């Protein structure tokens, strides 16, 4: 058995893979593949409608919010957000907590004026800034809730009275949130929701249409809302597979149950990192991510040796990002506790072998 700790695209439940593969050959006994049915057909309209209902149910999305399934990943949202929310002559506030937060701010600066309210770049993004002020005159405040590269996560929404936008690409559906606290949420599907190719957007209707900017239709949230996520041909297979995963999540008991499982998994791994003298975590303890666990060796020269042991134990994708080095174990929703325990066992085995040497 292989244990997939890759940072993305995400691990998905085996039953989702099985159903999705069956649909590639014969979708719902239509005799057609999910890859070839018309996105205008009744069958696919039912897919996208059910996916929207499940997102609304699982996240308790209020009725005055629209739910969209778009393309272009979070990177396209880096531009769409300021296009739709940053007024001519206005300003937006950004929290800089990593590569993706920085890229979001850089894209917004091409549209209008932005202000970086705080940054953890001074310490290679290994913590979440605290006690920063968000100007009251900005059009919106943007932050990234989970930083996949650096292993930090924002669990409590920063307090502000201005519209709040959050990139939840890597922790959406992993924990309970109050959607009504946010004005726009976006998330690439490829961490916890589904395969790469579709991006979820949840937007409060009343914040749109206030910029006086002429927006190309493909980048206009209003155009996508009006067309029910079918302004252009949607990523049908990615949406269908996401639907299967949302059904799986509901069957498990929903997000509250999932969050408790994620807490247990993260605690098991962090406890071993803190206990084992050969390893140490890279992120500030109070800001540790439940989704992406980053750690290094106390003796860097031993990293290659541990990677070799991990490969022997079928632990896949734990090599850290080049910005941090060491190791990164991504423990998304579908990764089981048994896989986490397999990594913990390998760390203990490595310790024992070195102590006996």
**Quick one: which of 185, 192, 172 has its CA closest to 65?**
185
- What pTM does this model have? 0.96
Residue 189 φ then ψ, to 5°? -75, -20
Asked about 183 being catalytic, the answer comes back as no
> Final residue of a domain: which of 251, 270, 298?
251
Among the listed residues 96, 171, 183, 191, the single catalytic one is 191
CATH of the domain at 266: 3.90.1150.10
Q: Is residue 186 part of a domain?
A: yes
**Quick one: which of 173, 138, 143 has its CA closest to 58?**
173
- Structural domain count of the chain: 2
Q: Are residues 279 and 234 in the same domain?
A: no
Q: Give residue 251's pLDDT.
A: 98
> Final residue of a domain: which of 198, 229, 251?
251
Q: Give residue 81's pLDDT.
A: 98
Burial track 287-326 (b if 16+ CB lie within 10 A, e otherwise): bbbbbbbbbbbeeeeebeebbeebeebebebbbbbeebeb
Query: DSSP character for 127?
Result: S
CA distance 173 to 50: 17
Residue 140 φ then ψ, to 5°? -165, 165
Q: Are residues 232 and 274 in the same domain?
A: no
CA distance 139 to 153: 24
Q: Are residues 191 and 207 in the same domain?
A: yes
Q: Are residues 241 and 340 in the same domain?
A: no
Asked about 352 being catalytic, the answer comes back as no
Q: Is residue 22 part of a domain?
A: yes
CATH of the domain at 152: 3.40.640.10
Cα distances from 150 to residues 108, 201, 283, 321, in angstroms, run 22, 24, 7, 8
User: CA Rg, the chain, in Å?
Assistant: 21
Range of the domain at 167: 14-251
Among the listed residues 167, 171, 183, 220, the single catalytic one is 167
Q: Are residues 300 and 224 in the same domain?
A: no
Q: Are residues 205 and 236 in the same domain?
A: yes
Q: Is residue 5 part of a domain?
A: no
What pLDDT tens digit does each residue of the chain (357 aa) get?
899 999 989 899 999 999 999 999 999 999 999 999 999 999 999 999 999 999 999 999 999 999 999 999 999 999 999 999 999 999 999 999 999 999 999 999 999 999 999 999 999 999 999 999 999 999 999 999 999 999 999 999 999 999 999 999 999 999 999 999 999 999 999 999 999 999 999 999 999 999 989 999 999 999 999 999 999 999 999 999 999 999 999 999 999 999 999 999 999 999 999 999 999 999 999 999 999 999 999 999 999 999 999 999 999 999 999 999 999 999 999 999 999 999 999 999 999 998 987
Q: Is residue 6 part of a domain?
A: no
Q: Is residue 281 part of a domain?
A: yes
Q: Are residues 258 and 237 in the same domain?
A: no
> Final residue of a domain: which of 228, 251, 274?
251
Q: Is residue 2 part of a domain?
A: no
Element (H, E) at 257: helix 255-275
Q: Are residues 177 and 306 in the same domain?
A: no
Q: Is residue 119 part of a domain?
A: yes
Q: Are residues 181 and 134 in the same domain?
A: yes
117 in Cβ contact with 105 (< 8 Å): no
CA distance 340 to 338: 5
Q: Are residues 77 and 188 in the same domain?
A: yes
Q: Are residues 242 and 301 in the same domain?
A: no
Asked about 248 being catalytic, the answer comes back as no
DSSP helix/strand/coil, 178? coil
Q: Are residues 209 and 167 in the same domain?
A: yes
**Quick one: which of 287, 57, 245, 257 has its CA closest to 150?**
287
End-to-end CA distance of the chain: 29
Q: Is residue 213 part of a domain?
A: yes
């Amino acid at each position: 058995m292989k244990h997939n700790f890759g940072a993305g695209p995400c691990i998905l439940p085996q039953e989702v893979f099985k159903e999705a593969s069956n649909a590639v050959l014969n979708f719902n006994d239509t005799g057609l593949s999910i890859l070839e049915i018309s996105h205008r057909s009744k069958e696919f309209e039912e897919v996208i409608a059910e996916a929207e209902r499940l997102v609304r149910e699982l996240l308790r999305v209020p009725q005055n919010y629209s739910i969209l399934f778009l393309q272009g990943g979070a990177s396209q949202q880096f531009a769409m957000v300021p296009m739709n929310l940053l007024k001519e002559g206005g300003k937006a506030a950004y929290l800089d907590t990593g590569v993706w937060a920085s890229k979001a701010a850089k894209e917004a600066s091409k549209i209008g004026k932005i202000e970086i309210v705080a940054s953890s770049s001074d310490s290679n993004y290994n913590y979440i800034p605290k006690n920063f002020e968000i100007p009251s005159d900005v059009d919106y405040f943007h932050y990234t809730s989970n930083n996949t590269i650096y292993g930090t996560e924002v669990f409590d929404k920063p307090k502000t009275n201005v519209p709040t936008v959050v990139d939840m690409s890597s922790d959406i559906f992993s924990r309970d949130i109050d959607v009504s606290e946010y004005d726009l949420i976006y998330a690439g599907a490829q961490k916890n929701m589904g395969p790469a190719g579709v991006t979820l957007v949840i937007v409060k209707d009343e914040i749109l249409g206030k910029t006086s900017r002429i927006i190309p239709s493909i980048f206009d949230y209003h155009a996508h809302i009006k067309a029910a996520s079918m302004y252009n041909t949607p990523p049908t297979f990615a949406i269908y597979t996401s639907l299967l995963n949302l059904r799986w999540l509901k069957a498990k008991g929903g997000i509250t149950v999932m969050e408790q499982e994620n807490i247990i998994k993260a605690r098991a791994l962090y406890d071993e990192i803190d206990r084992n003298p050969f390893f140490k975590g890279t992120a500030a303890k109070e800001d540790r991510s439940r989704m992406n666990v980053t750690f290094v060796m106390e003796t860097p020269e031993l990293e290659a040796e541990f990677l070799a042991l991990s490969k022997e134990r079928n632990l896949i994708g734990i090599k850290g990002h080049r910005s941090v080095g060491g190791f990164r174990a991504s423990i998304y929703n579908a990764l089981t506790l048994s896989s986490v325990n397999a990594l913990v066992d390998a760390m203990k085995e490595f310790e024992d072998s070195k102590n006996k040497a």
